[in-house]
């Protein structure tokens, strides 16, 4: 069986973001189109579907980790180097509100669950969604390159 770790991440996230649009619990807040994703960014995202892609990316990170991940860890994952003009660049964490709201929405959709010790993990429903999506991505890859059929 194909898992979410065996297909290209970019294709998986793209396909998963399309599926997440079907969940009524997962919707970008009104401020999402104007907000930067961290102090290290100069502009807000130009992609109108960036909220769904970030949610899909968070689901994949939770799948890959296998252990609870909290908002602070996601801030570090989605952080970057801040340009400070002529001064040397420094790492800055990303926004905390964006992953917090996405995790709350994924939790309302039943794809993620809180862990009492802190952080969140995938539910069986979330793991199943990722595995089914990975299978669809692999089927598309096999149509493009038939020699990959031995991995199905």
Instruction: Quote the strand ranges of 25-105, DSSP E.
Output: 80-84, 87-92
9-151: which CATH topology? Answer: Arc Repressor Mutant, subunit A (1.10.10)
Lowest mean pLDDT among 12-26, 57-71, 104-118, 134-148: 134-148
> What share of the chain has pLDDT > 70, as a percent?
99
Residue 1: pLDDT band by 50, 70, 90 thresholds?
confident
What are the structural domain ranges in the chain? 9-151
> What share of the chain has pLDDT > 90, as a percent?
82
pLDDT in tens, 63-119: 999 899 999 999 999 999 999 999 999 999 999 999 999 999 999 999 999 999 889
Q: What is the pTM of this model?
A: 0.92
């Amino acid at each position: 069986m194909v898992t979410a770790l065996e297909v290209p991440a970019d294709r998986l996230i793209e396909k998963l973001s399309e599926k997440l649009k079907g969940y009524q619990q997962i919707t970008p807040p009104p401020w999402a189109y104007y907000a930067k994703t961290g102090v290290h960014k100069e502009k807000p995202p130009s992609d109108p579907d960036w909220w769904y892609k970030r949610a899909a990316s968070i689901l994949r990170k939770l799948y890959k980790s296998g252990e609870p991940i909290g908002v602070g860890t996601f801030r570090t994952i989605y952080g970057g180097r801040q340009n400070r003009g002529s001064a040397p660049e420094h790492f800055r964490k990303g926004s905390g509100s964006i992953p917090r709201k996405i995790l709350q929405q994924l939790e309302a959709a039943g794809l993620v669950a809180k862990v009492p010790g802190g952080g969140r993990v995938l539910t069986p429903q979330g793991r199943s969604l990722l595995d089914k999506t990975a299978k669809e991505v692999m089927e598309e890859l096999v149509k493009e390159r038939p020699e990959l059929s031995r991995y199905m």
